[in-house]
Homo-oligomer: A and B are copies of this chain.
Amino acid sequence: MVAAYDQLRSEGYIDARRGSGAFVANVPPDHLLSARSIAAKPLHPSKNDRQTDLRPPEHRPLPFSPGAVDQDLFPTQLWSRLLDRAWRRHGCNLLNRSDARGHVPLQHAISEHLKIWRAIDCDAEQIFVTSGSAEGLRLVLSSLLDKPDRVFLEDPGYDTFRRVVADQRHEAVCCPVDGEGLDIAEAERRTPNARAAIVTASRHYPLGVTMSLARRLALLDWAKRTGGWIIEDDYDSEYRYAGRPLATLMSLDETERVIYLGSFSKVLFPTLRLGYVVAPQGAVDLFTTALRSIGSSASMVAQPALTEFIESGAFASHIRRMRRVYGRRLVALRQALDTHCQGLLEPAGTDGGMHIVARLSEKLARDTSDIELSRRAHAAGLIAPAISSHAIEHHDVQGLVLGFAAFQECELANGVRCLASVLTKR
């Protein structure tokens, strides 16, 4: 401590005076503009204490955290090798931003991935790498709406989007979601002049509903007729356990009114903070200008490694592997719910994603609310968000969101037993 202090003093970085609480008024401005002495307080914690801190705490998400991914099956050895290699080879070229839109090879890799996995035919130039769908939405709204405007949002829906819309002072118009997804005709009847609609067409978040064809065509027609924009959030469609992959609105769109938001949070891991926007060809310049003006939040550190991860085929292998694993976990969770939560929860059918929506039984819903049950589950060490906590106006759907991806089958079974006892406790 003293040595560090002496070194700093010898380099002219700190003043030798001790105790500095009252020196403001009595010394000339020149002094005041220099940093306060750090000697007044010891530089605790000591080096040894801090060394202990350096190990990341063992962190396991609690069942049934919906956004969590499996921690043991991610190829961390390969990933660390790719990070190391990219930085050893190209490090000096990565330090200064060459293009706000992202690492060019990653743009190419994403556009190839989208062709194969999501049937979206786009050029690399249409891809804008972001730090995730929140930044993506912010970019889209800043680019397309130059003044506060009305934006259709699914209700219930993804809280973060609502927050981004509110942060930019747009008016969030809540649209109910039924078994066919967002009903644009009904939404338009109530609020005729919205400028954008944010939808999770492939699998509604959190309800898991797939938007019907009729609704998709109506939505595309709305955009064409009114000049509105459709912002399609496609957050985990790579995880589909039965049937063919679902088409995206963007691949159906022929009028360049759909903007696609993709993310690596679910298919890789959430702390990666990399996602992307696919802009319609005609909006690329608008998006580029907006992104350059505010700068990108997407770190470059992992972009070259991610590029190699995708191009080498490791990404596709990982998705396929996790799809098998998650598919089994979905079955295990559903079986456990059938066994232990009969008459309490009614799990909705789902053939994809990373969570199940389990509605409260009529009896349970009469006695209590999903928010209360979620609170009690949390007290018992479980994360089971209430559906109605994702809602603004439409609280009629009462149920719990149960993530299964990050948990082994035995953990899911134990979790469900624990949940059942929470639900039956009065």
Q: Is A424 an interface residue (CB 8 A)?
A: no
**CB proximity of A215 to chain B, nearest CB, Å:** 10
Complex interface residues of chain A between 242 and 272 (CB less than 8 A to chain B)? 243-248, 251-252, 269-272
Question: Once bound together, how far apart are the Cα atoms of A35 and B270, in whole Å?
Answer: 26
**CB proximity of A392 to chain B, nearest CB, Å:** 14
Q: Is A348 an interface residue (CB 8 A)?
A: no
Residue of B61, B135, B304 touching A96 (CB-CB under 8 A): B61
Q: Is A34 an interface residue (CB 8 A)?
A: yes
Question: Once bound together, how far apart are the Cα atoms of A164 and B142, in whole Å?
Answer: 10
Among A293-301, A331-339, A359-367, the stretch that binds chain B is: A293-301
CB neighbours of A248 from chain B (8 A): 35
Question: Once bound together, how far apart are the Cα atoms of A184 and B113, in whole Å?
Answer: 53
Question: Once bound together, how far apart are the Cα atoms of A91 and B245, in whole Å?
Answer: 31
Q: Is the CB of A59 within 8 A of B98?
A: yes
Residue of B79, B243, B297 touching A132 (CB-CB under 8 A): B297
Q: Is the CB of A272 within 8 A of B244?
A: no
CB neighbours of A163 from chain B (8 A): 293-294
Q: Is the CB of B79 within 8 A of A87?
A: yes
Binary CB contact string for chain A from 274 to 290 against chain B (1 if under 8 A, 0 otherwise): 10000000000000000
Q: Is the CB of B301 within 8 A of A43?
A: no
Residue of B76, B116, B307 touching A92 (CB-CB under 8 A): B76
CB neighbours of A217 from chain B (8 A): 24
Q: Is the CB of B34 within 8 A of A245?
A: yes
**CB proximity of A283 to chain B, nearest CB, Å:** 18
Question: Which chain B residue shows the least CB distance to A169?
Answer: B169
CB neighbours of A2 from chain B (8 A): none
Q: Is the CB of A50 within 8 A of B311?
A: yes
**CB proximity of A306 to chain B, nearest CB, Å:** 9
Q: Is A3 an interface residue (CB 8 A)?
A: no
CB neighbours of A43 from chain B (8 A): 112, 115-116
Interface residues of A (CB under 8 A from B): 4, 8, 11-15, 24, 29, 32-38, 41, 43, 45, 50-51, 53-59, 61, 65, 67-69, 71-72, 74, 76-77, 79-81, 83-88, 90-98, 103-105, 108-109, 112, 115-119, 121, 131-132, 134-135, 138, 142, 148, 159-160, 163-164, 167-169, 210, 212-214, 216-217, 243-248, 251-252, 269-274, 293-302, 304, 307-308, 311, 320, 406
Q: List 11 A-B contacts (CB under 8 A).
A: A13-B116, A36-B251, A68-B96, A76-B92, A80-B83, A96-B271, A142-B167, A148-B169, A167-B168, A273-B298, A298-B299
Given contacts A50-B108, A80-B86, A97-B270, 19 further A-B contacts (CB under 8 A): A14-B244, A35-B246, A35-B251, A37-B119, A38-B119, A53-B108, A54-B308, A54-B311, A57-B93, A76-B87, A76-B88, A80-B88, A83-B301, A95-B271, A97-B271, A131-B273, A134-B295, A160-B295, A163-B294
**6 closest Cβ contacts across the A-B interface?**
A76-B91, A271-B300, A80-B87, A169-B169, A35-B119, A84-B84
